[in-house]
Amino acid sequence: MRKYIIQKSEEGQTLEKYIQKLLKSAPNSFIYKLFRKKDIKVNGHHEDRKFVVSENDEIAVYIKEEQFEEFLKEKGYEANNQIQDWIVYEDENVLFINKPRGLLVQKSAPQDESLDQMVVEYLIYKGEYDPNKELAFKPGPAHRLDRNTSGIVVFGKNHQSLELLFELFKNHDLINKHYLALVVGQMEKDKDTINAPLRKDEKTNTVTVASLERGGKTAKTVYKVMKKYEDYSLLDVTLLTGRTHQIRVHLAYINHPIIGDEKYGDFQANRIFKNKYGFNKQFLHAYKIGFGDLPKPLTNLSRKEFVAEPREEIANILTMLDNNKEGE
């Protein structure tokens, strides 16, 4: 038998979810059996698996020591503050990071470097997170950006904040995200909404426009032209839905693909741009995020906007484009 004390960051989740996160390698059938046999107690009492845990609750789990060793996973983290210069905003509940292009938000393979691991190690460095105590919660991202998209990624530092952030990003009514996108050609309209359902092929990890009848899911993207150049347009893009690769596929669909997009882009246009400006990377940056009136624990974010300035490589390209425009 082992006992655990619920930390502040872990409260608000069900007892079942806590045990699932605690015994990470245990099958659900084993966990359900623990509840049926009443081998889990909260503050000395048997509780239903839907019981919501609170800070300082004592959880006792009655299984053999060798089973603990089998089901508990060690966390391989090293405290460091390497992301300190990437922080856009931080408080006790959330952390906004200006992610560089080329970095995964979450690992796709064990050897990958990822932003979520860096955030955990930063919070360990600050003394705000202890993986040896908070066994059923890990600070994590509320959404993702593609590896080759830079910009703001929002992390929750505790269970309550992360759950609320998940809801905000799912519903889109109290949150708005803005992206900078440099696309091929001059836009016909200065502002428009792209309304085209999208379907993802899980085997190839590619997304195509497809009708709802053919398995597509509703997808809406709003764009506004910020600047027009001779052969390109700089857009402010806002998502009304959150489909995989949505911005990239929608802009390619209207024949204005993003510069440097290797999957959905115009390869000839990418080569021309590389030869002229020495830039062959995806020109998509999540630069701004804003919030409506939010409930606790995220009231600090209510009616605020946060901006992540483009990194030097993107800023330099915009300067060169502006200089070329002035010389026309």
The token duo for 207 is 């997304």
Distance, in Å, from the CA atom of 8 to the CA atom of 134, rounded to the nearest integer, reads 9
Cα–Cα distance for residue pair 133/163, rounded to 1 Å: 20
CA angle 157-133-119, nearest 5°? 35
List the Cα angle 118/299/236 in 5-degree steps. 65
Task: Note whether 252 and 185 are within 8 A (CB).
Answer: no
Are the C-beta atoms of 164 and 170 separated by less than 8 Å?
Answer: no
Q: Give 27-56 as a DSSP string.
A: -HHHHHHHHHTT-EEETTEE--TTPBP-TT
Tell me the catalytic residues: 146
Token pair of 41 as six digits: 């107690």
CB burial of 170-197 (b: ≥16 within 10 Å; e: otherwise) equals eeeebbbbbbbbbbbbebeeeeeebebb
End-to-end CA distance of the chain: 76
What is the length of the chain? 328
Q: 59: closest CA among 72, 45, 69?
A: 45
Q: Is 56 helix (H, G, I), strand (E, B) or coil?
A: coil
